[in-house]
Amino acid sequence: MGIDPGLTRCGVGVVEGRPGAPGTMVAVDVVRTDPEAGLADRLLALDEGLRALIDAHRPEAVAVERVFSQHNVASVIGTAQASGIALLAAARSGLPSATYTPSEVKNAVCGNGTADKRQVTTMITRILRLTEPPKPADAADALAIAVCHLWRGGVQARIAQAAAKERIR
């Protein structure tokens, strides 16, 4: 499951496959919260939405786009809070998680870390052999994050999982 964190719109994409193979889209969705609501209520709605999707799709791992401080300063705090809720939701479900920078995601699906949104959408539509671009448009990024993890993260995730088990002993 790939998560493109956001407080107003949080993209979620579920992809099935294995490293090296193209992968198949299982689901794509956006969890929305009401910008008029209080912050705590919005975080709770996001938590409930993400946990419902985790329960529905039972992914093996969760990948979340890493928040960067060079983003719009006004929105970075909300995005950081949303990414924290996403990582917490994964951990509470006992799932391993990973984070990727936007350029890692673009590089994985486009072979170019500075690819624009349109290129990511074009490539993810092609990689997952979809008949049309995923909708809503922001969900394409979440699918790209999931594909990035599938291709790049498999090995790292297994190492992290082994390390986590080692810590529990």
Any catalytic annotation for residue 41? no
8 Å CB contact between 5 and 67: yes
Q: Which of 91, 114, 158, 159 binds a copy of itself (CB under 8 A)?
A: 91
For residues 147 and 10, give the distance between their C-alpha atoms in angstroms, rounded to a whole number: 17
8 Å CB contact between 103 and 114: yes
Any catalytic annotation for residue 4? yes
8 Å CB contact between 10 and 49: yes
Q: Which of 82, 124, 146, 148 binds a copy of itself (CB under 8 A)?
A: 82
The annotation status of 48 as a binding-site residue, yes or no, is no
Hey, CA dihedral for 21, 137, 28, 133, is it positive or negative?
Answer: negative
Please identify which of the residues 55, 65, 104, 132 carries the catalytic annotation: 65
Q: Does residue 139 touch a copy of itself according to CB under 8 A?
A: no
Q: Does residue 3 touch a copy of itself according to CB under 8 A?
A: no
Alpha helix ranges (H) inside 58-111: 73-92, 102-110
Q: Does residue 39 touch a copy of itself according to CB under 8 A?
A: yes
Residues that bind a copy of itself (CB under 8 A): 37-41, 43-44, 47, 67, 69, 73-74, 76-77, 80-85, 87-88, 90-92, 97, 99, 160, 164, 167
Point out the residues that are catalytic.
Answer: 4, 65, 138
